[in-house]
Homo-oligomer: A and B are copies of this chain.
Amino acid sequence: MKRFLTPSDLGDINKALKEAAEIKNNPNAFQHLGKNKTAVLIFFNSSLRTRLSTQKAALNLGMNVIVLDINKESWKLETEFGVVMDGDKPEHIREAVPVIGQYCDIIGVRSFAKFENKEDDYSEKLLNQFIEYSGRPVISMESATRHPLQAFADLITIEEHKKVERPKVVLTWAPHPRALPQAVPNSFVEWMKVANVELTVTHPQGYELAPEFMDGVKVEYDQLKAFEGADFIYAKNWASFKDYGKVLTTDRSWTVDERKMAVTNNAKFMHCLPVRRNMIVTDGVLDSPNSIVVEEAANRVVSAQTVLKRMLEAL
């Protein structure tokens, strides 16, 4: 296993879910795998859950972990090729990446969409540099277009909470004051498509996700109608894909509230966190017993550990 970006990198998803359950049940059972192995976790962006849960997962596997906030602790990286480097970026990614590879066995990278250039973001330019030049297996800890550790944890959480064989899962856009990447909704859709769920996506006009993710996925522009009979409501803000990186509206009539949850099938409420209260979701819904956001976050250790275990086994 040389990279972790999409569900297909895990192969059979049911087998992966079974393995995740075993790991959750006995997190310290595989420490021989990580002995004398080192994970370097590179953060170009802020992180709470990803930082802590991926460290915890690696420690559970007996690995050494080195965390690097690359922009703050190291050198600013040039990512363009062929330039004369006479500006404020003293190091080129073309050196930094293979060098990091020399110091570890597995690399995790977090680098958000920059919203400067849709093609750069959607080609996963930076992550692919790590995959191509590091010489090590690479885990996306949220890259420009995807957040697979989150989506895998989301799927594990849905598996644990579902009451019917094929639950109705609704991904709903919700308002937010700033432009956020599409990584979380993209991955969520990508993972739900390979899972045994009935997926509906709801958002205002103009917030359509990239076509490459939405093939065959049902979109319902009426949020309340989308919620009807849902078993899981997954809320998330994202900026426009079409009008790339723009905030088209912050209309709080899209905030998830008790009134909307009432039309669901007693749905569980999910969000990847951090969540802006009373923008994305009301206090009432978030503090209700149906909110499983903390369990969802806890499963980030399980998803990360499953991926790290697979990579260690393949070293």
Contacts and interface: CB of A to CB of B under 8 A. Distances in A.
Interface string A102-144: 1110000000000000000000000000000000000000000
B84 A275 contact: no
A73 interface: yes
Interface string A21-53: 000000010000000101010010011110111
Given A64-B59, A73-B47, A275 B95 contact: yes
13 contacts: A47-B73, A48-B74, A48-B100, A51-B74, A52-B68, A52-B104, A53-B103, A56-B103, A86-B279, A90-B274, A94-B286, A95-B294, A99-B298
Given A56-B66, A59-B64, A94-B287, 16 more contacts: A38-B56, A48-B91, A52-B66, A55-B66, A56-B103, A72-B72, A85-B278, A85-B279, A86-B279, A92-B277, A95-B274, A98-B294, A99-B273, A99-B298, A102-B294, A102-B297
Interface of A: 28, 36, 38, 40, 43, 46-49, 51-53, 55-56, 59-60, 64, 66, 68-70, 72-75, 78, 81-87, 90-92, 94-96, 98-100, 102-104, 177, 250, 273-279, 283, 286-287, 293-294, 297-298, 301
A275 B49 CA distance: 34
